[in-house]
């Protein structure tokens, strides 16, 4: 296997439960994600995006099929997460309520193999905060319950920007922030990607974002990948019905037909 | 002349932190709504939208406190009333809220029908207790009206439902007592575009059937508001900075922050693929100190030295309200 393949999935399925109650969350997917690529996974609620993301993190071993990271099975999670970092979908459950945000951000750098110095930790966390439009002094002594939903989500990204991982899996990382903050986050992410040659997998409902950042888009429906390719291949003049439906339902300003309301 | 059903006068709210410091999350917000109006509120994450919602319902629960101003529903003031008074006489009957992150609002270990019964019991006017059977009957009628798979949904636990069914259940429950007004805080941000559209359709259906008539809809997504709202207010660092019709605010924004929001939009069109959204660096001012001058000045590309000195007041510019001395 060429070593520029970060993830490779061969006929991967993930089934929850058994017998009658079995739920096929991911259904026989095969793909490769190359080093330095940005891939976005788009699809309706419950189609299996988060489960697929968790397979990439090594949290769910596939029920059938083979899933490899850099040509090897994921066995040691701690070693895996040293290189592959993540932003989970629900920011409310990601921070401990009993420690300040700042101390949790600084602590998360402890997982790095080459532990940065005290001063560097501080500098990296500050830079991460600025990249998500937050003044470091504004969260100095704050706890998670003192932040708004969108601010908490931005803390998860600040953590990533401080960690500077090789691979990032981000599940709906900007669903709660406004367009200006999203633009700033994407700006910083692109810079970081250039600098570190980072590989990024986004899971998102935001097709505008997928269109702008992706090298390739995976459209998912009921556990299957139904449309895969560059943004132009997947979005322009597509005839794939699930993609068409999603495109049709975006509330773009010029789409006068979006909803009929008198 | 249509009556003003909701009036907000110079409302300011603050949090009292553990260090005894005040965080002025909402500053001097004023607006009024007519029966049947849909007002959209959009703004930067952390600008005070959810805090404003608490104030609009009269639910200032420590550490949140009212600083000054008034909120009236059909002339009745909601300020400085006890939490239990508001809960039993206002919520669910006059004003109802659809909360941000509705998934977390549903108790995971109770079935939808039990969650609904709890909510109704908590907000029932004293002296008019209805039996569990009556509540259940009413719930069934209402869910049938929405075209839901009523029996299955009511007898399910939240986790057994799709995201759309869950969100529609929350809306169904919170409008069961026919409130005059509904405040929805980011009701669709966690949903995919198709489910989002399904939920918006349901909201319009409720409006058409007269189950409620007036709504405040909060989201960070301006294009969505364009389709949903009659009027839009843009919030920045606790203040309203622009307020006008949906058409005016989205298609012809005048405040530099609203213009920045529109410039940062992303689209699924091929023609927009390589257009870089314009990012604005920096952060809004800290809300725990007195702020002098325009709150956006530090990040505004058109700011001049005066902007940092003069506090801007909201004024009419091109038929809408704008808080910028230089807006044209
Ligand atoms: N631990 C689990 N046990 C059983 N079923 C599960 C589990 N996790 C997920 N599922 C089911 O697998 C399917 C896919 O779930 P997943 O969370 O991946 O959806 P998603 O595409 O991320 O949806 P959303 O856009 O709402 O986040 C769903 O039907 C879900 O109910
Ligand atoms: N308990 C608290 N103590 C101190 N400050 C708080 C507290 N809760 C919220 N804040 C601050 O108040 C401000 C407004 O928060 P709010 O939740 O109203 O924002 P929002 O506009 O709803 O944001 P989002 O779009 O992210 O939901 C934020 O700056 C937040 O950090
Ligand atoms: Mg998910
Ligand atoms: Mg909020």
ipTM metric: 0.92
What's the number of domains chain B is made of?
Answer: 1
Query: Is the C-beta atom of A25 inside 6 A of ligand 1?
Result: yes
Asked whether residue B273 is domain-assigned, the answer is yes
Q: What is the pLDDT of residue B222?
A: 94
User: What's the CA gap between B293 and B300, in Å, rounded?
Assistant: 12
Per-residue pLDDT for A246 more than 60? yes
Asked whether residue B190 is domain-assigned, the answer is yes
Asked whether residue A260 is domain-assigned, the answer is no
Q: What is the pLDDT of residue B190?
A: 85
Q: Is the dihedral of CA B61, B132, B159, B187 positive or negative?
A: negative
- pLDDT averaged over every residue in chain A: 93
Give the ligand with the smallest distance to the CA of A144.
Answer: 2
Question: Are the Cβ atoms of B200 and A259 closer than 8 angstroms?
Answer: yes
Question: Are the Cβ atoms of A146 and B267 closer than 8 angstroms?
Answer: no
Interval between CA B320 and ligand 3 midpoint (Å): 40
Q: What is the pLDDT of residue B1?
A: 47
User: What's the CA gap between B198 and B179, in Å, rounded?
Assistant: 22
Asked whether residue A254 is domain-assigned, the answer is no
B273: nearest CB among A138, A211, A253: A211
Interval between CA A145 and ligand 2 midpoint (Å): 9
CA separation (Å) from A69 to A49, A168, B18?
18, 13, 46
Q: What is the pLDDT of residue B128?
A: 58
- pTM over 0.80, yes/no: yes
Question: Are the Cβ atoms of A208 and B104 closer than 8 angstroms?
Answer: no
Chosen from A178, A230, A241 to mutate, greatest number of chain B CBs within 10 A: A178
Q: Return residues 117-146 of A near B (CB < 8 Å).
A: 130, 133-135, 137-138, 141, 146
Asked whether residue A258 is domain-assigned, the answer is no
% of chain A with per-residue pLDDT over 70: 98
Q: What is the pLDDT of residue A253?
A: 92
B270: nearest CB among A133, A138, A236: A236
Chosen from A253, A255, A256 to mutate, greatest number of chain B CBs within 10 A: A253
- Average pLDDT of span A38-51: 95
Q: What is the pLDDT of residue B129?
A: 57
Measured between beta carbons, the chain A residues lying within 8 angstroms of B190 are 172, 175
Residue to mutate (ligand 2; options B50, B104, B217, B239; most atoms within 8 A of CB) = B50
CA separation (Å) from A41 to A50, A62, A63, A171, A229?
9, 18, 21, 9, 11
Q: Is B220 at the interface with chain A, CB within 8 A? A: yes
Q: Which residues of chain B have pLDDT under 70?
A: 1-2, 101-104, 124-130
Interval between CA A4 and ligand 4 midpoint (Å): 41
CA separation (Å) from A64 to A27, A60, A61, B142?
10, 11, 9, 44
User: What's the CA gap between B168 and B106, in Å, rounded?
Assistant: 12
CATH code of the domain in which B234 resides = 3.40.50.300
CA separation (Å) from B150 to B112, B118, B142, B158, B161?
10, 18, 9, 14, 12
Atom 23 (ligand 2) nearest CA: B46
Determine the structural domain holding residue B79 and report its residue range.
4-322
Nearest CA in chain B to A172: B190
The DSSP-derived string for A231-244 is HHHHHTT---HHHH
List, for residues A134-188, the tens digit of each pLDDT value: 999 999 899 999 999 899 999 999 999 999 999 999 999 999 999 999 999 999 9
Q: What is the pLDDT of residue A90?
A: 82
Per-residue pLDDT for A255 more than 80? yes
Q: What is the pLDDT of residue B2?
A: 59
List, for residues B245-272, the tens digit of each pLDDT value: 999 999 999 999 999 999 999 999 999 9
Unique residue bearing structure tokens 């007004």: B181
Asked whether residue A256 is domain-assigned, the answer is no
CA distance B170 to chain A (A): 17
Per DSSP, helices labelled H in A214-261 are 231-235, 241-248
B20 Cβ neighbours under 8 A, 6+ residues apart: none
Asked whether residue B132 is domain-assigned, the answer is yes
For B267-278, b/e burial (b = at least 16 CB within 10 A) is bbbeeebeeebb
What's the number of domains chain A is made of?
Answer: 1
Asked whether residue B327 is domain-assigned, the answer is no
Residue of A152, A171, A157 whose CA lies nearest to A127: A157
User: Residue length, chain B?
Assistant: 328
List, for residues B124-136, the tens digit of each pLDDT value: 665 555 677 888 8
Interval between CA B100 and ligand 4 midpoint (Å): 6
Atom 31 (ligand 2) nearest CA: A147
CATH code of the domain in which A115 resides = 3.40.50.300
Q: Return residues 236-275 of B near A (CB < 8 Å).
A: 250-251, 260-262, 264-270, 272-273, 275
Interval between CA A148 and ligand 2 midpoint (Å): 4
- Relative to the CA of A147, which ligand 2 atom is closest? 31
- What is chain B's Cα-based Rg? 21
Determine the structural domain holding residue A150 and report its residue range.
2-12+21-249
**The token pair that represents B293 in the structure block:** 């001058």
């Amino acid at each position: 296997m060429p070593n520029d393949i970060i993830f490779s999935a061969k006929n991967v399925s993930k089934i929850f439960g058994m017998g009658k109650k079995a739920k096929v969350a991911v259904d026989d997917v095969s793909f490769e994600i190359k080093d330095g690529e940005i891939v976005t996974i788009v699809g309706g609620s419950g189609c299996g995006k988060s489960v697929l993301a968790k397979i990439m993190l090594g949290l769910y071993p596939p029920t059938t099929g083979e899933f490899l990271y850099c040509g090897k099975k994921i066995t040691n999670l701690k070693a895996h997460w040293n290189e592959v970092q993540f932003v989970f979908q629900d920011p409310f459950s990601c921070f401990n309520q009993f420690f300040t945000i700042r101390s949790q951000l600084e602590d998360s750098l402890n997982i790095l193999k080459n532990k940065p110095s005290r001063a560097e930790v501080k500098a990296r966390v500050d830079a991460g905060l600025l990249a998500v439009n937050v003044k470091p002094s504004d969260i100095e002594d704050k706890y998670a319950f003192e932040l708004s939903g969108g601010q908490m989500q931005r803390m998860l990204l600040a953590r990533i920007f401080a960690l500077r991982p090789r691979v990032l899996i981000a599940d709906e990382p900007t669903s709660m922030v406004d367009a200006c903050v999203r633009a700033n986050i994407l700006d910083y992410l692109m810079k970081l990607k250039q600098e570190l040659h980072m590989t990024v997998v986004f899971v998102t409902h935001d097709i505008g974002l997928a269109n702008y950042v992706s090298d390739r888009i995976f459209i998912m429906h009921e556990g299957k990948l139904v449309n895969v390719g560059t943004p132009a291949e997947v979005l322009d003049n597509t005839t794939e019905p699930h993609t068409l439906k999603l495109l049709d339902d975006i509330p773009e300003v010029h789409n006068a037909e979006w909803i009929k309301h008198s | 002349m249509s009556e003003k059903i909701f009036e907000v006068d110079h409302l300011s709210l603050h949090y009292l932190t553990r260090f005894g410091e005040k965080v002025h999350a909402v500053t001097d917000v004023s607006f009024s709504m007519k029966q049947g109006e849909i007002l959209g509120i959009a703004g930067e994450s952390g600008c005070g939208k959810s805090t404003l919602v608490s104030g609009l319902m009269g639910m200032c629960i420590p550490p949140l406190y009212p600083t000054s101003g008034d909120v009236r529903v059909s002339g009745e003031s909601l300020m400085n009333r006890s939490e239990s008074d508001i809960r039993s006489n206002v919520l669910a009957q006059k004003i109802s809220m659809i909360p941000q992150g509705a998934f977390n609002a549903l108790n995971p270990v109770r079935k939808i029908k039990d969650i609904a019964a709890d909510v109704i019991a908590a907000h029932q006017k004293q002296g008019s207790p209805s039996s569990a059977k009556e509540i259940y009957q009413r719930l069934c009628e209402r869910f049938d009206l929405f075209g839901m798979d009523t029996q299955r949904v009511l007898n399910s636990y939240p986790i057994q439902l799709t995201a759309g069914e869950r969100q529609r259940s929350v809306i169904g429950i919170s409008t069961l007592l026919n409130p005059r007004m509904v405040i929805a805080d980011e009701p669709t941000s966690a949903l995919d575009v198709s489910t989002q559209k399904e939920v918006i359709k349901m909201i319009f259906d409720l409006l058409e059937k007269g189950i409620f008539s007036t709504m405040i809809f909060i989201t960070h997504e301006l294009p969505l508001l364009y389709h949903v709202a009659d009027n839009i207010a843009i919030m920045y660092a606790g203040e309203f900075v622009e307020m006008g019709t949906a058409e005016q605010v989205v298609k012809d924004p005048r405040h530099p922050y609203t213009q920045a929001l529109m410039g940062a939009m992303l689209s699924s069109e091929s023609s927009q693929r390589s257009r870089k959204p314009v990012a604005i660096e920096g952060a809004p001012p800290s809300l725990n100190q007195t702020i002098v001058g325009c709150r956006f000045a530090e990040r505004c590309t058109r700011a001049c030295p005066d902007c940092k000195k003069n506090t801007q007041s909201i004024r009419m510019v091109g038929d809408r309200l704008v808080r910028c001395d230089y807006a044209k």
